[in-house]
């Protein structure tokens, strides 16, 4: 099955700074790479995703970059705001699997 590692496990930044979270996966045939945001006690919500034929995708302050050769993809958040504070999960999908495999999460704290 797919092995997924996320780093760092916790990240504290000052408001306005950038944050980067990295996700490493093992299945070279993985073809879908989403990032989910989960606020305390709430459901995970998709914030951005990328497919294997694209290297980078941006949506306002959020971007995802993919390096298929090295088997990792990263979430970039610029101009962080306190409302960005949450746990972020990567969840790559291997080609042979119907479901996502979630990383262990990164707790982002944005200090005002």
Partner 1 sequence: DGGITQSPKYLFRKEGQNVTLSCEQNLNHDAMYWYRQDPGQGLRLIYYSQIVNDFQKGDIAEGYSVSREKKESFPLTVTSAQKNPTAFYLCASSSEGDETQYFGPGTRLLVL
Residues that bind partner 1 (CB under 8 A): 1, 4, 6, 32, 34, 42-46, 49, 89, 91, 93, 98-105
b/e 13-40 (16+ beta carbons within 10 angstroms → b): beeeeebbbbbbbebeebeebbbbbeee
Q: From the CB of 16, what's the least distance to partner 1, in Å?
A: 28
Residue 14 φ/ψ, nearest 5 degrees: -85, 145
The smaller minimum CB distance to partner 1, of residues 29 and 46, is found at 46
Q: From the CB of 75, what's the least distance to partner 1, in Å?
A: 15
Q: From the CB of 93, what's the least distance to partner 1, in Å?
A: 6
The smaller minimum CB distance to partner 1, of residues 19 and 44, is found at 44
In this structure, are residues 88 and 37 in contact, taking their beta carbons and an 8 Å threshold?
A: yes
């Amino acid at each position: 099955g797919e092995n997924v590692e996320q780093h760092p496990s916790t990240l504290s930044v000052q408001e306005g700074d950038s944050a980067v979270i990295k996700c490493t996966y093992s299945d070279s045939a993985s073809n879908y790479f989403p990032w989910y945001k989960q606020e305390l006690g709430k459901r995970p919500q998709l914030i951005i995703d990328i497919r294997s034929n694209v290297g980078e995708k941006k949506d306002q302050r959020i971007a995802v970059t993919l390096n298929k050769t090295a088997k990792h993809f990263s979430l970039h958040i610029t101009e962080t705001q306190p409302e960005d504070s949450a746990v972020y999960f990567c969840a790559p999908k291997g080609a042979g699997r119907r479901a996502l495999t979630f990383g262990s999460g990164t707790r982002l704290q944005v200090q005002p």
